Amino acid sequence: MKISFKIIIIITLIITFNCQNVLAVEKIKIGLLVPLTGKDKEIGKSIIQSVRLAVNKIDSSNIEVLPRDTKGNPVETLKVAKELGSKNVKIIIGPVFNKNLIYLDELKDIFFISLTNKTTKNSNNIISAGINAESQLRAISKFLKLNNINKTFFLIPNSDFKEEVENAIFLSKIKIKYVHVYDTDPTLLTKQIEKITRYSQRKQNLQDEIKRLEESDENNKEKKIEKLKKKDTLGGINFDSVIISDFDESLKSVATSLLYTDVSPERIYYITLNQWFDNSLLNETSLQPIYFPSINKENFNKFIKVFFVNGWKINWL
């Protein structure tokens, strides 16, 4: 559902922006490439519903939307895109997923407003309309400056998103102190976080200090020892914030590993990419506060209400 909401809002804005000033002279044909069959068909249905809302808001009989099923397949995507081109369609919204873009450079006279947030290696006739990593890092960079955050550790998962994030770091010129690419395998992740946070050393520091006090003649050493035994580690960490460029359960795994190593949001800033108000993340009280760039939540909730209450009541062109 989180992915669907991203697509819903993006596509509504795209259509409104491109068509709100259309003159009543000729019909404007807009192609729509979405998965209507297969495992992603629910996303396709959400997109069609959002298009209905957008067309209804524009209130123009000169807009004709021509939806086609990509079947989640790049070859099928090219086939139906060619078919739309034969109908003199010059602007196509979609496809949704980056994998379906690979053959569309053949259709150089058609512009595709893709809903992917990946911008690398796209051909010149493809506009990425997703909320990409670069725009998010620019927003995060402003947040770092505003809060005088100077020692940021950037964590990147070793996944197909890695190149996109690394490119965004370069383009956004965000100031960070360390970058670490981590293995997403949970069995390896905790050990990596332990090393990054110097967990073993800080744990040893605590044990050494307790032993030193036990052997000392200091006043009130029993109270001091009792207080230390309530701690997990002793000693500072060499960063004041962490940016975790991950999502869903993988994001939670990284954050949980940080908590395990006694690096909590009370000690540093936890920052991540846009979570679109993922309630499962927000309900994790131990991870709060967690910061991420976002749209306005009040407006987001209003849109959701309109989407579910009125979406299917709108007549389709």
Within a domain: 200:
yes
- Start-to-end CA distance of the chain, whole Å, equals 25
| Range of weakest confidence among 33-47, 207-221, 256-270 | 33-47
Residue 268: which domain range? 133-294
Same domain (yes/no): 116, 82: yes
Confidence category of residue 3, pLDDT binned at 50, 70, 90: very low
Same domain (yes/no): 140, 283: yes
b (16+ CB within 10 A) / e for 169-181: beebebebeeeee
Question: What are the phi and psi torsion angles at 280 (to 5°)?
Answer: -65, -30
Same domain (yes/no): 97, 234: no
Any residues with CB less than 8 A from the CB of 93 and at least 6 apart, and which?
11, 14, 15, 30, 31, 32, 33, 51, 112, 113, 115
Question: What are the phi and psi torsion angles at 291 (to 5°)?
Answer: -110, 140
Within a domain: 48:
yes
Same domain (yes/no): 223, 140: yes
User: Average pLDDT in the 269-276 region?
Assistant: 87
pLDDT at 24 over 50: no
Same domain (yes/no): 89, 126: yes
User: Average pLDDT in the 1-13 region?
Assistant: 49
Burial class of 101 by CB neighbour count within 10 A (0 to 12, 13 to 18, 19+): buried
- The residue among 130, 159, 182 that closes a domain is 130
Within a domain: 146:
yes
CA atoms within 13 A on the CB side of 33: 35
The Cα–Cα gap between 64 and 316 comes to 10
Confidence category of residue 314, pLDDT binned at 50, 70, 90: very low
Same domain (yes/no): 96, 203: no
What pLDDT score was predicted for residue 147?
Answer: 96
Selected residue with higher pLDDT from 82 and 313: 82
Same domain (yes/no): 139, 263: yes
Same domain (yes/no): 123, 259: no
Same domain (yes/no): 105, 146: no
Q: pLDDT tens for residues 203-243?
A: 999 999 999 999 998 888 999 999 999 999 999 899 999 99
- The residue among 130, 149, 167 that closes a domain is 130
The Cα–Cα gap between 9 and 57 comes to 13
Q: In what order do the strands lie in the sheet with 111-114?
A: 63-69, 28-34, 91-93, 111-114, 126-128
Alpha helices in the chain (DSSP H): 2-19, 41-58, 74-85, 133-146, 162-172, 186-196, 199-214, 221-228, 248-260, 279-282, 297-310
Same domain (yes/no): 209, 258: yes
Structure tokens at 209: 């200090």
CATH number of domain containing 256: 3.40.50.2300
- The residue among 113, 130, 147 that closes a domain is 130
Q: pLDDT tens for residues 90-113?
A: 888 888 887 888 888 888 888 888
Within a domain: 300:
no
Selected residue with higher pLDDT from 49 and 219: 219
Q: Quote the number of domains for the chain.
A: 2
Whose CA is closest to 15, among 4, 28, 2? 28
Whose CA is closest to 44, among 35, 53, 52? 35
Distances 309 to 15, 54, 219, 268 between C-alpha atoms, Å: 21, 15, 69, 41
Within a domain: 14:
yes
Same domain (yes/no): 83, 123: yes
Within a domain: 302:
no
Q: pLDDT tens for residues 164-182?
A: 899 889 989 999 999 999 9
Average pLDDT of the residues of the chain: 83
Whose CA is closest to 264, among 248, 245, 235, 241? 241
Same domain (yes/no): 167, 280: yes
The Cα–Cα gap between 272 and 120 comes to 21
User: Average pLDDT in the 52-65 region?
Assistant: 73
